[in-house]
């Protein structure tokens, strides 16, 4: 199985690093212990400065019960890391203080400045639908080059998780309606509420409060997007309600206001939308902390984007190579506590699917991704049981 091999490889790398650097294993971690309030800026370490001691802090020995994957459409890494204290990041007040606080407490973020290897959407056209298809399908879509594509014909990580659980345990709430084309090759096989006019969603259940949130979203369709776009405010409310009441195994939340404000040439709106997304990340963390109360964290939160954008914020796509750059942050159960760090090899947007598969222990024939070793903490179970491939290698 891919899982054990990938994390086992990382464990070996960490051990070698520790010996080479002669770092004392008794050194306290540089990052502060969990604290619900704003962490001081000094807690955020510069990229690539995390010590080997940090990497050995255990996180989640028990299996992960659920993953919340949040996508923030068209966010540049420059804004994600602004004010974070990471070397090479813009100075000033942070735009995403909650994300960086939560990563410092129990997670890892990749894709920032000052690294030999970055993380990119595969493109070649850095727009949303090919990006989301790569993200959820685990590889670049063969036939989707723009936002006019139809439903994906590739089994996604959501389809894979759905295969081992009930329809209500996989759910998608997104502001952009075409998001639905990327999340599954089998529409209506689980909960998908994409865009404003999706109040009649199969498998949704009969929660009157959630229905009211969806109706409210439908009544406010459009701005800052166009047509059937559901403003993030309503997408966030519906997703949070579903998370708290159903506690699904995999919840995907697709927010998009920042991208649309960027296209409108409204930098203030773009930045405000980022701040609201950051507050939502804290809301999700509070909700899952309440679910996991009294025990170890059982939920992992993953945050990423579908593409970046160019400097003026208005554009992204094939003509804007900078818009290839993306980032990924993960924190909570099963995630290594490395803070802002650099990848040991180039990363792709599609690698995020491997992380979700690993966390939820989905068996797959998909190729290994080095991103798994970068962010997932090997559990004692993984350490104790060598993978089939490792055993095969040992017998040669
Ligand atoms: Zn866009």
Decide if 216 contacts 135 (C-beta within 8 A). Answer: no
**CA 230–ligand 1 middle distance (angstroms):** 15
Query: What is the predicted pLDDT for the residue at 144?
Result: 94
pLDDT tens, position by position, 41-72: 333 333 433 333 333 333 333 579 999 999 99
Q: Which region holds residue 138: left if phi is over 0, alpha if psi is between -120 and 50, else beta?
A: left
Q: How far is CA 137 from the centre of its chain?
A: 14
Average pLDDT score over residue span 293-320: 93
**Given this model, what pLDDT does residue 205 score?**
78
The pLDDT of residue 364? 80
Residue 86's SS3 state is: coil
Span from the CA of 327 to the centroid of ligand 1 (angstroms): 16
Q: Rounded to the nearest whole angstrom, what is the distance from the C-alpha of residue 316 to the centroid of ligand 1? A: 7
DSSP one-letter code for 17: H
Look up residue 136 and give its two tokens.
Answer: 């959820």
Confidence band for 294, pLDDT divided at 50, 70 and 90: confident
* pLDDT bracket for residue 136 (50, 70, 90): very high
Distance 128 CA to ligand 1 centre (A): 6
Question: What are 11-21's pLDDT values in tens digits?
Answer: 333 333 333 33
Lowest-confidence segment of 13-27, 287-301, 314-328, 365-379 by average pLDDT = 13-27
**From ligand 1's centre to the CA of 326, what distance in Å?**
14
**Residue ranges of domains in the chain:** 59-376
pLDDT digits 0-9 by tens, 98-123: 999 999 999 999 999 999 999 999 99
> Looking at residue 202, what is its pLDDT?
77
What separation in Å is there between the alpha carbon of 68 and the centre of ligand 1?
A: 23
The whole-number pLDDT of residue 59 equals 34
Over residues 213-229, the mean pLDDT reads 95
Judge residue 267's burial from the number of C-beta atoms within 10 Å of its C-beta, 0-12 exposed, 13-18 middle, 19 or more buried: middle
The pLDDT value recorded for residue 62 is 55
Residue whose C-alpha is closest to residue 361's, from 341, 338, 333: 333
Q: 386 pLDDT exceeds 70?
A: no
What pLDDT score was predicted for residue 22? 31
pLDDT of residue 208: 92
More confident residue, 201 or 162: 162
Whether the predicted pLDDT of 334 surpasses 60: yes
pLDDT of residue 5: 38
104-113, 141-150, 229-238, 378-387, range with the lowest pLDDT: 378-387
Q: Which residue reads 């199985």 in tokens?
A: 1
- 353 alpha carbon – ligand 1 mean position (Å): 22
**Average pLDDT, stretch 342-369?**
91
Contact between 359 and 67 under an 8 Å Cβ cutoff? The reply is: yes
Q: How far is the CA of 268 from the centre of ligand 1 (A)?
A: 16
pLDDT digits (tens, 9 = 90+) for 262-271: 999 999 999 9
Mean pLDDT of all residues in the chain?
A: 83
Cα of 110 vs centre of ligand 1, distance in Å, is 22
* Ligand 1 centre distance from Cα of residue 10 (Å): 35
* Distance from Cα 93 to the centre of ligand 1, integer Å: 25
Instruction: Report the CATH number of the 59-376 domain.
Output: 3.40.720.10
Looking at the chain, the whole-number percentage of residues with pLDDT higher than 90 is 70
- Taking residues 221-227, report their average pLDDT: 94
Question: pLDDT tens digits for 186-200?
Answer: 999 999 999 998 756
């Amino acid at each position: 199985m891919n899982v054990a091999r990938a994390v086992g490889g990382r464990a070996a790398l960490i051990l070698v690093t520790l010996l080479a650097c002669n770092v004392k294993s008794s050194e306290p971690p540089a990052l502060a212990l969990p604290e619900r309030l704003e962490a001081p800026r000094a807690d955020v370490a510069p990229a690539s400065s995390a010590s080997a001691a940090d990497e050995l802090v255990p996180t989640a020995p028990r299996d992960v019960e659920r993953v919340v994957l949040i996508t923030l459409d068209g966010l540049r890494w420059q804004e994600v890391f602004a004010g974070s204290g990471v070397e090479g990041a813009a100075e000033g007040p942070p735009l995403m203080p909650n994300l960086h606080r939560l990563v410092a407490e129990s997670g890892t973020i990749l894709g920032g400045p000052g690294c030999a290897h970055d993380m990119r959407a595969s493109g070649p056209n850095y727009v949303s639908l090919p990006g989301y298809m790569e993200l959820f399908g685990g590889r670049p879509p063969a036939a989707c080059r723009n936002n006019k594509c139809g439903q994906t014909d590739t089994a996604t990580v959501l389809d894979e998780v759905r295969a081992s659980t009930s329809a209500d345990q996989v759910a998608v709430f997104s502001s952009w309606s075409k998001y639905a084309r990327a999340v599954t090759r089998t529409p209506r096989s689980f909960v998908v509420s994409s865009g404003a006019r999706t109040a009649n969603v199969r498998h949704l259940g009969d929660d009157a409060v959630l229905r009211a949130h969806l109706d409210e979203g439908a009544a406010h369709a459009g701005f800052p997007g166009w047509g059937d776009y559901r403003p993030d405010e309503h997408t966030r409310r519906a997703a949070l309600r579903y998370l708290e009441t159903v506690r699904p195994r995999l919840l995907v939340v697709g927010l998009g206001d920042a991208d649309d404000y960027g296209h409108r040439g409204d930098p203030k709106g773009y930045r405000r939308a980022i701040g609201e997304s950051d507050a939502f990340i804290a809301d999700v963390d509070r909700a899952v902390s309440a679910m996991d109360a009294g025990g170890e964290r059982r939920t992992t939160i993953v945050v990423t984007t579908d593409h970046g954008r160019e400097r003026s914020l208005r554009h992204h796509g094939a003509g804007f190579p900078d818009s290839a750059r993306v980032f990924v942050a993960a924190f909570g159960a099963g995630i290594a506590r490395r803070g802002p760090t650099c990848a040991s090899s180039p990363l792709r947007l599609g690698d995020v699917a491997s992380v979700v598969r690993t966390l939820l222990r989905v068996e797959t024939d998909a190729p290994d991704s080095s991103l798994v070793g970068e962010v997932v903490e090997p559990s004692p179970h993984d350490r104790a049981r060598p993978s089939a491939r490792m055993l095969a290698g040992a017998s040669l």
